[in-house]
Amino acid sequence: MWLRRKLFIVSDNDKIIDEVTSSDYKYGFSTEIDSDTIDPGLSEDVIRQISLKKDEPQWMTDWRLDAYKVWKEMDEPDWANVSYSKPDFQNISYYSAVKKKQYDSLDEVDPELLKTFEKLGISLDEQKRLSGVAMDIVVDSVSVATTFKKTLKEKGIIFCSMSEAIKEHPELVKKHLGTVIPKSDNYYAALNSAVFTDGSFCYIPNGVRCPMELSTYFRINEAGTGQFERTLLIADKGSYVSYLEGCTAPQRDENQLHAAVVELIAMDDSEIKYSTVQNWFPGDSNGKGGVFNFVTKRGICETQAKISWTQVETGSAVTWKYPSCILKGDNSIGEFYSVALTNNFQQADTGTKMLHLGSNTKSTIISKGISAGRSHNSYRGLVRMGPRAKNARNFSQCDSLLMGDKCGAHTFPYIEVKNSTAKTEHEATTSKIGEDQIFYCQQRGLNPEAAIALIVNGYCKDVLNQLPMEFAVEAQKLLAISLEGSVG
């Protein structure tokens, strides 16, 4: 979520200030909105309209139409271990400005939400921004954005919105879009390819080490969120980038269905670290409402390249997400570190695919599931060692932690080995938080909730350690908050 407003990064200086200071207004409540919305429903015509409104070149329009054709022939998948009423795709508006309620002061905002902000340690200014209170953006954040932009430019790094990339860097987009996740990959990826409205684009040139965590600095300027987001990140030979997506603050959204696509391309000797904190509205404690989050994320590693996915998933009513790595080049490395927490009536089916094609490829999977309430939490993973994957190695560790006896934890690990020198190692545990652990902590002065938060954080340590420092601290608090009320 933090990075959704990165549009202004590569625009001109004046435009930056303009966008930063007017962003909420522009996308918020102005009367222009109505004229900027396309009627619900999906057809070739709607897709042409989207493309037209976005002022896209013909090749992009054709690409979308092609995806739509593919999608029409597909059926919505139902193999995941989740159940929900399927969205009506003719009842969704595929192009609309995000409606954000605007308040005059924090007093008008849902006190529950404010309480959560406070627990997360989010500053007053940011609380206002996140909950949509009208405010002047502090000058500080503008200057930070400007400095940031200058640094990136000097290094030749491109970091902009997808819309802008289509216009400004068509050769890069044309060459790479859909190469890791083809239009026909799956139902939601096809849908996204047809109707995506925006997202992020990032290119790190040959040999460049991106000097900052991309997106951290833009937390302050984030505004609307996309329903069908499209992200493409390209790390050229020998480059390095660490990318952050998401936000610990709870995200409410009128849109129920979210179907994002993220493609990563790691060329020879490059490294991409992609971290996500997902906290979309999970529905209330009775299981009403909440976001359906159907995400396709995949990266491809060329020779000696490395991609590591780290995710902390606490939100959404239904999550369906498998960040994966195609280890194409020899000696390439894929990593997946995940914490998925479900409470109340949430359902999560998440995991990864590690596809070892090259020789000496290595992958590590650390998955920590936490289920509370009446939720269901599944790990689904595939490790495939192809015929050429000589001496390939995988280590998988999938742990489940259960809180209470009404929730469920499931693991579906699939392993296919086609090369006799390849080795995989799989460990799995299921545990409960012990009464004796909680009593021990209480004896040392912690209340039961603090005790559980501590024990859960310890359980997730191997994943949280992968996150950039400040993100990790917030993620710890987020886990504690998400479990509130789950102890008797």
Q: How far is 41 from 43, CA to CA, in rounded Å?
A: 7
460 in contact with other proteins (CB under 8 A): yes
Query: Binding other proteins by CB under 8 A: which of 59, 84, 414, 440?
Result: 440
459 in contact with other proteins (CB under 8 A): yes
Q: How far is 117 from 120, CA to CA, in rounded Å?
A: 5
Which residues, at least 6 apart from 164, have a Cβ–Cβ distance to it below 8 Å? 7, 10, 11, 201
Q: Give the range of 232-240, 324-332, 353-361, 438-446 binding other proteins by CB under 8 A.
A: 438-446
Closest distance of CB 455 from other proteins, Å: 6
Please choose, from the candidates 322, 369, 390, 339, the residue with its C-alpha nearest in 3D space to the C-alpha of residue 185: 322
Closest distance of CB 487 from other proteins, Å: 12
Which residues, at least 6 apart from 141, have a Cβ–Cβ distance to it below 8 Å? 20, 220, 221
Asked whether 354 and 365 are in contact (CB, 8 A), the reply is yes
Closest distance of CB 431 from other proteins, Å: 10
Query: Binding other proteins by CB under 8 A: which of 11, 61, 102, 457?
Result: 457
447 in contact with other proteins (CB under 8 A): yes
Query: Binding other proteins by CB under 8 A: which of 415, 462, 473, 487?
Result: 462
Closest distance of CB 444 from other proteins, Å: 4
Please choose, from the candidates 47, 62, 56, the residue with its C-alpha nearest in 3D space to the C-alpha of residue 192: 47
Q: Which is nearer to other proteins, 77 or 458 (CB)?
A: 458
Closest distance of CB 474 from other proteins, Å: 17
SS3 219: helix
397 in contact with other proteins (CB under 8 A): no
Closest distance of CB 440 from other proteins, Å: 5
435 in contact with other proteins (CB under 8 A): yes
Following CA atoms 245, 4, 324, 358 in sequence, which dihedral angle do they give, to the nearest 10 degrees? -100
430 in contact with other proteins (CB under 8 A): no
The secondary element (H helix, E strand) that includes residue 308 is strand 306-313
Query: Binding other proteins by CB under 8 A: which of 21, 22, 206, 437?
Result: 437
The secondary element (H helix, E strand) that includes residue 271 is strand 271-278
Q: Which residues bind other proteins (CB under 8 A)?
A: 434-437, 439-448, 450, 454-455, 457-462
